């Protein structure tokens, strides 16, 4: 410490040295490194998600020509429209039924794959994931050709059994069935792979204990598998619910919302009103309407997961 005694302005350098040292320490901290590494992603999310979200909130408060603030005027207008409530109903039918069937099929197929001997399992897993990895716009085009109003391959096949022709996309109920079917086909592999991962993490001893207690197949599923998979089921359901509610491409390509608006969901209706109809504020309001619905669903599902986490 001798050299310090000879320095007249010793306080300032000491402070800056301390600062540099603390910066070095901060940089060495794992959390700082992690933050810096995720910073590009945070910025991207900020630019591509947060900004547009706030911009659409702002848009939703403007009049049609975007020159006047109207507060909740757009929502008041929407609530009086018959078509809007039809879209709300259809979005709920579409999302809830699609997620239910995706979860059910994913659960069943995950069990089937889980029981395939390890040697052939990778092959099956790969094949079953194919619908999920093909861009939906492309695979939906293939479905469109299968359902094509005039040249449906399904109708051609059914004709051999004396059935049809069915107007897959021209009759409201069949059109709803078709868009849900394609969504289930596309989304079920995601559930399958998540459930499969979850199934593999269930300790084998639990099944052995259940078997010793005389549990049958159903009881093993009900009392062992399902409780162990609850969190994964909840998270995948929430995730899929959000994605399915916001679905656009499948419905847009298959039916564009028709016939008679019977397959419109929030995103396709928002596009029709906002972009095609040159009414961006109303389109923004339509797409924002699902935010509270999904937020409520998210709160309930995540609260349940938290509760279970704390119990554990």
Partner 1 sequence: MSRKKLSRRQFVAATALTSAALISAPFVRSARAAGTLTMGFWDHWVPGANKASTDLVNEWAAKEKVEVSIDYITSQGNKNLVTIAAESAAKSGHDIMAMPTWWSHAQSDLLEPVNDIMEPIIKQNGEVNGTVQYLGQLDGKWLGVPACVGSQIKGPCSRIDLMKKYANIDVQEMYPAGAPPKADNWTTDTFLKAAEACQKGGVPFGIGLGESSDNVDSAGAFFLSFGAQLVNAKGDLTVKTDEVRQALEFYKKLIPFLPPDVAAWDDASNNKWLIAGKGALIMNPPSAWAVAKRDAPQIAEQLWTHGFPAGPKGRFAPFLPYFWNIWNFSKNKEAAKSLLVHLSKPDSIERLVVASGGYDLPAYSKLTTLKVWEEQGPPKGTLFHYPNPYNHQTLSIAASPAPPKIAQQIYTQALQTKMCLKYSQGEKMEDVLAWAEGECEGYMRS
Residue 264: phi and psi, rounded to 5, are: -65, 135
Among residues 261 and 304, whose Cβ is nearest to partner 1? 261
Q: List binders of partner 1 among 185-244 (CB under 8 A).
A: none
Q: Which stretch binds partner 1 (CB under 8 A): 12-20, 115-123, 147-155, 197-205?
A: 147-155
Q: List binders of partner 1 among 272-301 (CB under 8 A).
A: 272, 274-280
Among residues 61 and 167, whose Cβ is nearest to partner 1? 167
* Binding of residue 259 to partner 1 (CB under 8 A): yes
- Distance between CA atoms of residues 247 and 161, nearest Å: 34
Helices (H), 165-275: 172-200, 204-212, 217-220, 226-245, 249-254, 266-271
Neighbouring CB atoms inside 10 A of 43's CB total 10
Interface residue with partner 1, options 99, 175, 182, 224 (CB under 8 A): 175
Interface residue with partner 1, options 31, 40, 82, 292 (CB under 8 A): 82
Query: Least distance to partner 1 from the beta carbon of 258, Å?
Result: 5
- CA terminus-to-terminus distance, the chain: 55
Closest to 111 (Cα-Cα) out of 198, 183, 184: 198
Among residues 13 and 52, whose Cβ is nearest to partner 1? 52
Query: Least distance to partner 1 from the beta carbon of 178, Å?
Result: 10
* Binding of residue 149 to partner 1 (CB under 8 A): yes
Closest to 115 (Cα-Cα) out of 187, 240, 220: 220
Query: Least distance to partner 1 from the beta carbon of 284, Å?
Result: 11
* Binding of residue 165 to partner 1 (CB under 8 A): yes
* Binding of residue 173 to partner 1 (CB under 8 A): no
All residues at 6 or more sequence positions from 178 whose CB lies less than 8 Å from its CB, including other chains = 143, 147, 168, 169, 254, 255
Do residues 175 and 169 make contact, with C-beta atoms less than 8 angstroms apart? Answer: yes
Binding site for partner 1 (CB under 8 A): 63-65, 67, 77, 80-83, 149-151, 165, 167-171, 175, 255-261, 272, 274-280
């Amino acid at each position: 410490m001798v050299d310090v005694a000879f320095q007249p302005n010793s306080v300032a350098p000491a402070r800056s040295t301390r600062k540099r040292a603390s910066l070095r320490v901060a940089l060495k901290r794992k959390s700082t490194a992690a933050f810096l590494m995720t910073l590009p992603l945070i910025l991207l999310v900020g630019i591509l998600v947060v900004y547009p979200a706030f911009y659409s909130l702002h848009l939703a408060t403007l009049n049609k020509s975007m020159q006047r603030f109207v507060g909740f005027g757009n929502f008041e207008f929407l609530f009086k429209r018959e078509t809007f409530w039809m879209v709300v109903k259809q979005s709920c039918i579409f999302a809830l039924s699609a997620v239910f069937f995706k979860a059910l099929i994913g659960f069943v197929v995950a069990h089937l794959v889980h029981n395939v001997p390890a040697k052939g399992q990778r092959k099956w897993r790969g094949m079953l994931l194919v619908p999920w990895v093909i861009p939906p716009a492309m695979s939906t085009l293939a479905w469109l050709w299968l359902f094509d109003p005039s040249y449906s391959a399904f109708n051609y096949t059914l004709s051999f059994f004396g059935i049809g022709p069915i107007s897959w996309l021209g009759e409201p109920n069949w059109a709803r069935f078709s868009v849900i079917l394609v969504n289930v086909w596309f989304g079920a592999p995601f559930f399958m792979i998540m459930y499969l991962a979850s199934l593999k993490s269930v300790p084998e001893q639990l099944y052995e204990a259940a078997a010793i207690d005389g549990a049958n197949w159903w009881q093993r599923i009900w009392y062992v598998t399902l409780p162990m998979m609850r969190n994964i089921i909840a998270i995948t359901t929430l995730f899929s619910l959000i994605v399915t509610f916001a679905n656009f491409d499948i419905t847009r390509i298959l039916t564009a919302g028709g016939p008679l608006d019977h397959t419109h969901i929030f995103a396709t209706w928002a596009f029709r009103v906002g972009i095609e109809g040159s009414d961006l504020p109303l389109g923004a309001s339509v797409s924002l309407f699902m935010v509270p619905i999904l937020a409520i669903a998210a709160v309930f599902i995540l609260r349940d997961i938290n509760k279970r986490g704390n119990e554990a």
